[in-house]
């Protein structure tokens, strides 16, 4: 990464900033053009959303290449999707937040979409995912210095311009120590990643909005899969996802459009346990009529993407769950201290039957996340799509509330 004003002896810092911004725009344009060419070569027209001012690029982060979609300028907001999904999950929130003055970045998490998909399930622990997120924050937040120190930096450039070496050291220290934090939004596995990012690196998170999956403290007595197998048995979807190849083989009995309907339009509220001898994918219904919140074209975007990328990467998140249990031991009993908002649908999977509602209302959730708001909406698992306007408004209210006073005045 190039920090503005540090690598060009003959130019002023402002000139280098302009040069770097121009280079960034050129790279983004080239990335978008490349995406168009690739799809044209495949004989396909571009999904409409690619033409609505959303820039696409691939970024080297934490040793792998991640695809990101971005729009807008201003305070950085990072959007993390869940299973089975990709950046497109946030299409409504990307536009809504960008129009309100935020720089919105929605990556395909590792294993998904156009991002790299490591083969080994051990490469999908939450430490890997948090590492990816921090690398993205470093990439997009490298010029986002806290508003409180911007005037100080400007004076330093003027007063100490002749002492370039000392200036470089001072600016690097300021950027590292006082770098502006980002807002993070996550759904499903993206919510879990957001919780652990906030737990491990609270210095990088201004606030977290988590959808569908609350923060659970680690159970020291048993691994996740041991608990699931004991409580639900082999029919539980997470248990069936553990064996490499088993779920992929079951999924292969259906075309991708049918799979997307089974997952995205899921309207059951139980714990997703299949009868004995039945694969969970066979037990999920395929709705004949689409709900009002999603179109056939949008489902085709999903189906096309998963036809290309497959499901092994996404399933590897579940296969790394016991590794997550092992590596999270040092944080047993730790609390999430950043401001957080949890949004869930009252008809989400297991909300009533698995104890999630009691966990929230009984105060245990808040004991681990002290600065917490909870919003329960009338809806299902993909609440940010089903209730896009309501969720977007809840998110925007949270971002506004937790933006700094200095930032609001700018």
The string of pLDDT tens digits covering residues 85-105 is 999 999 999 999 999 999 999
Q: Minimal CA–CA distance to 314: which of 388, 238, 202? A: 238
Q: Compute φ and ψ for 252, nearest 5 degrees.
A: -65, -10
Summarize the confidence of residues 196-220 as an average pLDDT: 97
71 near 95, Cβ under 8 Å? yes
Helices 296-309 & 256-264 angle (0-180, nearest 10): 120
- Angle, alpha carbons 350-356-362 (nearest 5°): 155
187 pLDDT above the threshold of 60: yes
Distance between CA atoms of residues 212 and 200, nearest Å:
21
Summarize the confidence of residues 111-135 as an average pLDDT: 98
pLDDT value for 7: 31
326 pLDDT above the threshold of 90: yes
Summarize the confidence of residues 118-143 as an average pLDDT: 94
Choose, from 318, 348, 380, 384, the residue flagged as catalytic: 318
Report yes or no on whether pTM surpasses 0.85: no
Summarize the confidence of residues 151-163 as an average pLDDT: 48
Summarize the confidence of residues 36-59 as an average pLDDT: 60
pLDDT value for 5: 31
Domain with 121, as residue range(s), is: 47-144+179-409
Average pLDDT, the chain: 85
Distance between CA atoms of residues 377 and 147, nearest Å:
35
Neighbour count for residue 358 (Cβ, 10 Å): 12
Please report, rounded to a whole number, the percentage of residues in the chain having pLDDT higher than 90: 73
Between 57 and 172, residue with greater pLDDT: 57
Residue 270 is a catalytic residue: no
209 near 395, Cβ under 8 Å? yes
Q: Between β-strands 205-211 and 55-61, what pairing exists: parallel, antiparallel or unpaired?
A: unpaired
96 near 392, Cβ under 8 Å? yes
321 near 227, Cβ under 8 Å? no
Name the pLDDT band for 178 (thresholds 50, 70, 90).
Answer: low
pLDDT value for 144: 52
Residue 306 within a domain: yes
Summarize the confidence of residues 53-58 as an average pLDDT: 95
148 pLDDT above the threshold of 70: no
Residue 26 within a domain: no
Summarize the confidence of residues 124-142 as an average pLDDT: 95
Residue 333 within a domain: yes
Residue 23 within a domain: no
Q: Minimal CA–CA distance to 67: which of 27, 112, 4, 122? A: 112
Summarize the confidence of residues 58-70 as an average pLDDT: 97
51 pLDDT above the threshold of 70: no
Residue 350 within a domain: yes
Name the pLDDT band for 70 (thresholds 50, 70, 90).
Answer: very high
Beta-bridge partners for 36? none
Residue 18 within a domain: no
pLDDT value for 32: 47
H or E element, residue 76: strand 75-80
H or E element, residue 56: strand 55-61
Query: Could you tell me the CA-to-CA distances from 178 to 146, 150, 160 in Å, in that order?
Result: 6, 10, 20
405 pLDDT above the threshold of 60: no
333 pLDDT above the threshold of 50: yes
Choose, from 67, 381, 384, 402, the residue flagged as catalytic: 381
pLDDT value for 159: 52
Helices 189-200 & 126-140 angle (0-180, nearest 10): 70
Check which CATH number belongs to the domain holding 221 and give it: 3.40.50.1820
pLDDT in tens, 282-319: 999 999 999 999 999 999 999 999 999 999 999 999 99
Q: Between β-strands 102-107 and 64-71, what pairing exists: parallel, antiparallel or unpaired?
A: antiparallel
Residue 42 within a domain: no
Name the pLDDT band for 269 (thresholds 50, 70, 90).
Answer: confident
Residue 55 is a catalytic residue: no
> Residues near 77 by Cβ (< 8 Å), separated by ≥ 6?
97, 102, 103, 104, 105, 182, 183, 184, 185, 399
Phi/psi-derived region of residue 49, left when phi > 0, alpha when psi is between -120 and 50, beta in every other case:
alpha
What sign results for the dihedral spanned by CA atoms 375, 339, 394, 302? negative
Please report, rounded to a whole number, the percentage of residues in the chain having pLDDT higher than 70: 77
Q: How many domains does the chain have?
A: 1
E strands in 3-161: 55-61, 64-71, 75-80, 102-107
Choose, from 108, 116, 188, 348, the residue flagged as catalytic: 188
pLDDT in tens, 212-229: 999 999 999 999 999 999
Residue 58 within a domain: yes
Residue 381 is a catalytic residue: yes
pLDDT value for 353: 82
Name the pLDDT band for 120 (thresholds 50, 70, 90).
Answer: very high
């Amino acid at each position: 990464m190039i920090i503005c004003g540090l690598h060009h002896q003959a130019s002023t810092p402002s000139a280098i900033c302009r040069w770097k911004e121009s280079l960034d725009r050129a790279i983004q344009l080239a990335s978008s053009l490349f995406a168009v060419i690739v799809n044209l070569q495949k004989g396909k027209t571009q999904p409409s959303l690619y033409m609505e001012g959303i820039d696409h690029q691939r970024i080297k982060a934490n040793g792998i290449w991640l695809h990101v979609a971005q729009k807008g300028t201003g305070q950085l907001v990072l959007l993390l999707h869940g299973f089975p999904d990709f950046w497109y999950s946030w299409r409504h929130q990307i536009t809504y937040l960008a129009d309100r003055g935020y720089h919105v970045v929605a990556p395909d998490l590792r294993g998904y979409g156009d991002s790299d998909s490591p083969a080994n399930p051990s490469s999908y622990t939450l430490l890997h995912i948090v590492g990816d997120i921090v690398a993205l924050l470093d990439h997009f937040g490298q010029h986002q210095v806290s508003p409180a120190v911007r005037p100080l930096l400007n004076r330093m450039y003027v007063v100490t311009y002749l002492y370039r070496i000392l200036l470089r050291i001072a600016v690097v220290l300021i950027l590292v120590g006082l770098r502006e934090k980002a807002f993070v939004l996550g759904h499903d596995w993206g919510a879990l990643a957001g919780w652990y990012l906030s737990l491990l690196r609270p210095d990088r998170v201004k606030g977290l909005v988590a959808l569908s999956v609350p923060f659970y403290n680690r159970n020291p007595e048993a691994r996740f899969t041991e608990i699931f197998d004991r409580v639900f048995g082999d029919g539980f979807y997470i248990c069936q996802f553990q064996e490499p190849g088993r779920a992929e083989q079951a999924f292969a009995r259906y075309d991708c459009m049918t799979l997307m309907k089974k997952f995205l339009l899921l309207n059951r509220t139980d714990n997703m346990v299949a009868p004995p001898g039945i694969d969970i994918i066979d037990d999920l219904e395929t709705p004949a009529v689409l709900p009002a919140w999603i179109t056939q074209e949008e489902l085709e975007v999903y189906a096309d993407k998963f036809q290309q990328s497959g499901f092994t990467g996404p399933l590897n998140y579940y296969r790394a769950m016991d590794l997550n249990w092992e590596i999270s031991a040092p944080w047993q009993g730790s609390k999430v201290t950043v401001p957080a908002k949890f949004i869930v649908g009252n008809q989400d999977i297991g909300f009533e039957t698995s104890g999630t509602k009691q966990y929230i209302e009984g105060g245990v959730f808040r004991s681990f996340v002290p600065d917490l708001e909870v919003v329960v909406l009338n809806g299902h698992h993909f609440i940010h799509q089903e209730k896009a306007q309501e969720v977007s408004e809840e998110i925007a209210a949270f971002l506004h509330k937790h933006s700094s006073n200095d930032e609001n005045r700018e």
